[in-house]
Amino acid sequence: MGSLLSNIALGFQVILQPHVFLVLAGGVLLGLIVGVIPGLNDTITISILIPITFAMEPIVGLAMLVGIYCAACYGGSFASILVGIPGTASSVVTTQDGYPMARKGLAGQALSISTASSVFGGVFSTLVLMFAAPWLAEQALRFGPAEYFALAVFGLSTIAGMGGDSVLRSLISGVLGLLIATIGMSPQVGYPRFYFGNPNLLDGIPFIPALIGLFGITSVMGMANSGSNTQAGTGKVNQIGSFRLERTLIRRLLPIWIICAALGTFIGIVPGAGMIMAVYLAYEIARRRTPGLEFGTGVPEGVAAPEAANNSVVGGSMVPLLSLGVPGNSTSALFLGALMIHGLRPGPMLFMEQPQIAYGILAAFFLGNILMGGMGLLVARFMSGLLLSIPQPLLGGAVVAFCAVGAYSMGNNIFNIWIMLIFGVLGFAMNKLRLPVSPMILAMVLGTMAETSLQQALVISRGSYSIFYTRPIALVLLVVSAWFFLMPIAKIFVQRMRSRQLQSAAK
Amino acid sequence: MRGGSPQGPNRGPQPEGLYSGEPMGQKTREMTIGICIIIVGVIFLIMSGSIPATPALFPRLMSVVAILLGVLQSAAALTLPADRAEQDQSSRSMVVFLEILGVIVLHIILLSTAGFVVANLVLTLGLFLVLGYRRWAPMSVAAVGVTMLLYLVFRIALGIPLPTGILL
């Protein structure tokens, strides 16, 4: 415990250096800005900016990305409240009560509630992250290849639940990612596979350019369809009103904050669940808890619940990544990419060998959430009108230009722009076919991890598969994976049976 | 109750992963998914035929899984009711997407011939037009601004050698 606290202190020391702190604040500001602008979000921005962080000192670049990740979903609520258009997908639910509040002249209060809830959720989940991640990492020190294989399988098993209603779609997206992961040299023997005679592919598909294509290029499509400048001024709120939060209101919202922050943190930690699920569940819980209130007409609880939940997913989602090296959602997969370009691997060794980075990231999350609250209201008050009036086509053009240069700069190779383009096409096609992209991204990461550790484990056990069921941790992880994998499938069958029963009962 | 359903008064953009079925073109879409993943699986299976056993094990396994999932998906698609006539909307976004691709390909070609500055100006202006913007003054300012910003950040601040052609 003592060493944990001193390590956390070290993390704060690292982040409180003036240049790191400034960059963190810059990241928070950027996160707020991209959050406000519909069409841009944290994933897109982080994928575009990872190439820039490559040239920075690792912790400086990571602090910037942490700032963006913290602040983006909070910034998204400004657009939800002020114009009734969610700035990010995670603030869709906030629109339901935030916008009606603003229409009643309570925009200021709604923004303050969003701020307080977001900071509460963010700080809550950061505290969990701060103590859970180092502990989990310590447990993971005992892991060998067999356990890492089981861990990768566990990560993959959560894919089944990722696509919401359609398990099959998620699995298809996942297997596509696993196949993509096999491109390049094979682990252990280093035999070149599926590289189409192109030496650029020997190291596998370049991850960052692929993500830039999947997120950046695909996002521009939305900006074409929305036409130029449609949203600004349409549903604008004239009266902002007071920003004050009365103590009675705070006392009223406190239980909701605690419940929703705990829920969001938990959903964040479980790989594959995601922010969207957290905000809908939080809203639902708040509604059931306060039956006397008419949700959807502008009740404070309707803003507080989703806003506390989405910011707490952020901290939670970093737990499996930092401690085990297993990303739980697409944004934490991006952090994995950002660490890897500096030659850093998240997991137990990061906490042992590079404590200033591991604990620095934890401290950055904490300070980022605090900064976010202070800067947020300023952005909401003075910048959101301006940001919402930027014509979408201009934004789209700038995004693609950033994407192209960013992809190129990963190794100064024009080939990477082609990769970006190909994955942009893939992302567009998947979007059209309504295939979720996140399972594929997780599988691209976990596929390599699974294959490498499988081969290593089999070398250790001289080819015997018994290594996976004689080692307790590996066995438990594999059993839990089977449960995670089968549960959504079983649920579908139960639902089908039920609906059949209902149908026959109706007849 | 998984994640609730996006049926509130404000739906906003369809969030990723919260797919809810809509009747239009559903059968075609589901069938396309099934067939595509079967094709991908078969391609990887065939290509892994020329690879020695150990490195081929994982890809072979995965391509078999892909084919199985594809068959399941197609079978599920067959049980769906036939589509009603497709609406025109999707072809419009397809055209825009192809135009975006065209501009990016042009950008890649220009990068290695005319250099970054020209290529980026063409890229940004082209995209503004493709995405439906027509006011020249803000457009030119934005194109020059973005190009200058990128040059400053990547070339000057980060020291990345951007491709040079005839200009810069």
**Residues 6+ away with beta carbon under 8 Å from A295:** A96, A97, A283, A286, A287, A301, A302
Using a CB-CB cut-off of 8 Å, the residues of chain A touching B10 are: 84, 86, 92, 95-96, 99
Q: Is B39 on the interface with A (CB under 8 A)?
A: no
Give me the pLDDT at residue A237, please.
64
Q: Tell me: the pLDDT tens digits for A236-249? A: 566 777 888 888 99
SS (H, E, C) A29-82: HHHHHHHHCCCCCHHHHHHHHHHHHHCCCHHHHHHHHHHHHHHHHHHHHHHHHH
The confidence band for A507, taking pLDDT boundaries of 50, 70 and 90, is low
DSSP 3-state percent helix, strand, coil across chain A (nearest 5): 75, 0, 20
Q: Do residues A358 and A350 make contact, with C-beta atoms less than 8 angstroms apart?
A: yes
Q: Tell me: the pLDDT tens digits for A346-383? A: 988 899 999 999 999 999 999 999 999 989 988 888 88
SS (H, E, C) chain B: CCCCCCCCCCCCCCCCCCCCCCCCCHHHHHHHHHHHHHHHHHHHHHHHHHCCHHHHHHHHHHHHHHHHHHHHHHHHHHCCCCCCCCCCHHHHHHHHHHHHHHHHHHHHHHHHHCEHHHHHHHHHHHHHHHCCCCCHHHHHHHHHHHHHHHHHHHHHHCCCCCCECCCC
Q: How far is CA A244 from the centre of its chain?
A: 31
Using a CB-CB cut-off of 8 Å, the residues of chain A touching B133 are: 228, 391, 393-394, 397
Cα A467 from Cα A458, distance rounded (Å): 8
Give whichever of A270-274, A328-332, A493-497, B120-124 has the largest mean pLDDT. Answer: B120-124
Q: Tell me: the pLDDT tens digits for A397-427? A: 999 999 999 999 888 899 999 999 999 999 9
Q: For chain A, which residues make up each domain, given as ranges?
A: 2-405+412-506
Instruction: Count Cα atoms within 13 angstroms, Cβ side, for A307.
Output: 35
Q: Do residues A367 and A21 make contact, with C-beta atoms less than 8 angstroms apart?
A: yes
How far A505 CA sits from the closest chain B CA (Å)? 22
Cα A313 from Cα A266, distance rounded (Å): 8
Residue among B73, B131, B164 with most chain A CBs within 10 A, to mutate: B131
B15 or A213, which is more confident? A213
Q: Tell me: the pLDDT tens digits for A153-163? A: 988 888 876 66
| ipTM (interface pTM) | 0.84
The single residue listed with the structure tokens 């060794």 is A349
Q: Please indicate whether, in this complex, the C-beta atoms of B58 and A182 are within 8 angstroms of each other.
A: yes
| Paired residues of A184 in beta bridges | A193
Q: Tell me: the pLDDT tens digits for A55-100? A: 889 999 999 999 999 999 899 999 889 888 888 888 889 989 999 9
Structure tokens at A467: 């290594």
Structure tokens at A241: 């009103």
**Burial environment of residue A10 by CB neighbours within 10 A (0 to 12, 13 to 18, 19 or more):** middle
**Residues 6+ away with beta carbon under 8 Å from A165:** B2, B18, B19, B20, B21
Q: Do residues A59 and A13 make contact, with C-beta atoms less than 8 angstroms apart?
A: no
Phi and psi, residue A161, nearest 5°: -90, 0
A272 or A476, which is more confident? A476
Q: Do residues A324 and A137 make contact, with C-beta atoms less than 8 angstroms apart?
A: yes
Structure tokens at A379: 């952005």
How far A327 CA sits from the closest chain B CA (Å)? 17
How far B82 CA sits from the closest chain A CA (Å)? 17
pLDDT > 90? residue A487: no
Using a CB-CB cut-off of 8 Å, the residues of chain A touching B74 are: none
Q: Do residues A457 and A152 make contact, with C-beta atoms less than 8 angstroms apart?
A: no
Cα B160 from Cα A409, distance rounded (Å): 7
Using a CB-CB cut-off of 8 Å, the residues of chain A touching B17 are: 162-164, 274, 276-277, 436, 438
Residue closest to A425 by CA, chosen among B109, B27, B120, B104: B104
Rg (CA), chain A: 23
Cα B12 from Cα B18, distance rounded (Å): 12
Q: For chain B, which residues make up each domain, given as ranges?
A: 26-78, 91-157
Phi and psi, residue A192, nearest 5°: -70, 130
Structure tokens at B21: 């079925």
**Residues 6+ away with beta carbon under 8 Å from A321:** A327, A328, A332, A335, A336, A346
Percent of chain A at pLDDT exceeding 70: 95
Give me the pLDDT at residue A455, please.
87
pLDDT > 90? residue A432: no
* Cα angle A308, A310, A311; round to 5: 70
Q: Do residues A185 and A192 make contact, with C-beta atoms less than 8 angstroms apart?
A: yes
Give whichever of A93-97, A271-275, A476-480, B120-124 has the largest mean pLDDT. Answer: B120-124
**Tens-binned pLDDT, residue by residue, of chain B (168 aa):** 333 333 333 333 333 333 334 444 788 889 999 999 999 999 999 999 888 888 888 899 999 999 999 999 999 888 888 876 655 556 677 888 899 999 999 999 999 888 999 999 999 999 999 988 888 999 999 999 999 999 998 888 888 888 887 665
Q: Which of A92, A163, A455 sits opposite B12 (nearest CB)?
A: A92
Integer CA distances (angstroms), B33 to A211, B47, B75, B92, in order:
21, 21, 11, 21
**Burial environment of residue A195 by CB neighbours within 10 A (0 to 12, 13 to 18, 19 or more):** middle
A230 or B53, which is more confident? B53
Give me the pLDDT at residue B128, please.
93
Name the DSSP letter for residue A410.
T
The DSSP string of A233-284 is: TTS--S--------HHHHHHHHHHHHHHHHHHHHHHHSTT--HHHHHHHHHH
The single residue listed with the structure tokens 């479980």 is A270
* Cα angle A37, A39, A43; round to 5: 100
> One-letter amino acid identity for A376?
G
Using a CB-CB cut-off of 8 Å, the residues of chain A touching B27 are: none
Residue closest to A455 by CA, chosen among B50, B61, B44: B61
Give me the pLDDT at residue A495, please.
80
Give me the pLDDT at residue B23, please.
40
